[in-house]
């Protein structure tokens, strides 16, 4: 099993209801950031749905907004919502 850890910060953590989840990349039809995000079971689904559109992501430390990014071989994704002042 290949696992990518998805970590949530600030408003994303509040919407999802946890600090991080483990995503089984091998179990995905398409191992993409978008597919992983779509599979998140959020504590507040409406808030998460609206927020995910505005987040940026660090994929193994590299910033992206492209949710088609492959998760094959990726260890960690950080979900970064917009922060005050920037």
Structure confidence at residue 73 (pLDDT) = 94
**Residue 7's closest CA among 65, 58, 83?**
58
- Rounded-to-10 torsion of CA 14, 16, 17, 23: -140
C-alpha 6/C-alpha 59 separation (Å) is 9
| Domain spanning 3-80: CATH superfamily | Beta-grasp domain (3.10.20.30)
Asked if residue 69 has pLDDT above 60, the reply is yes
Query: What are the sequence ranges of the domains in the chain?
Result: 3-80
pTM (2 decimals)? 0.92
pLDDT at 86 over 70: no
Distances (CA, A) of 10 to 16, 19, 79: 10, 9, 9
CA distance 74 to 3: 8
């Amino acid at each position: 099993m290949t696992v990518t850890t998805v970590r949530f910060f600030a408003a994303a953590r509040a919407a999802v209801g946890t600090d991080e989840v483990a995503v089984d990349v091998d179990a995905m039809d398409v191992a993409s950031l978008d597919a992983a995000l779509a599979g998140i079971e959020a504590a507040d689904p409406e808030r998460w749905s609206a927020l995910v559109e505005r987040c940026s992501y660090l994929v193994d430390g590299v910033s992206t907004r492209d949710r088609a990014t492959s998760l094959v071989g990726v260890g960690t994704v950080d979900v970064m919502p917009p922060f005050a002042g920037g």
